[in-house]
Amino acid sequence: MNINIRAIRPDDNTTLSKIIKSTLVEFKANHPGTVYYDASTDNLSDVFKTPRSYYFVAELNDEIIGGGGIYPTDGLPDDTCELVKMYLLPEGRGSGIGKILIENCMAKAQVFGFTKIYLETMPELKQALGIYAKYGFEYLNAPMGNSGHTGCALWMLKNLSN
């Protein structure tokens, strides 16, 4: 198994959009107010040109199987970024790739000077919820920032110094 983690490139956009949307369909989480309907999902390489943002692409045996990133979402405190667009195809799940992506995102957040990572998710993504909890993300009672993803009903925050 050959795993490669690298930065997003413009030629990744179509593949990553398909992965994100197919994963949401798979878990029946493709409802309004999610990234499924967010136009930026089709042009992720442009989104991650924003300062203090970064997107990691995961490849397995030279095929893109997912990715995840951090983003300084509008309305979040200056010391907080959002963990965003964290999706893997079935063949990448349970392989440790998700953990690598999360750890890379946390490390990159610290390099950019963030002390906290926020995320928005859905109850349908049960496996991811367990992974986030293992990494010390704690549930919040309300959303933070202005992501525009009103279809997400769960919000979590991690202090990077813990």
How high is the pLDDT of residue 127? 85
Range of the domain at 90: 3-159
Q: Beta strands of 52-153 (E only): which ranges?
A: 54-60, 63-71, 80-88, 116-121, 138-139
pTM for the model stands at 0.94
How many domains does the chain contain in total?
1
pLDDT tens digits, one per residue of 42-65: 999 999 999 999 999 999 999 999
d(CA 9, CA 115): 27
Distances (CA, A) of 52 to 46, 140, 157: 13, 24, 18
Q: Rounded mean pLDDT of 114-143?
A: 94
The CATH number of whichever domain residue 73 belongs to comes to 3.40.630.30
pLDDT band at 126 (very low <50, low <70, confident <90, very high): confident
Give yes or no for residue 162 having a pLDDT over 80.
no
Strand partners, 110: none
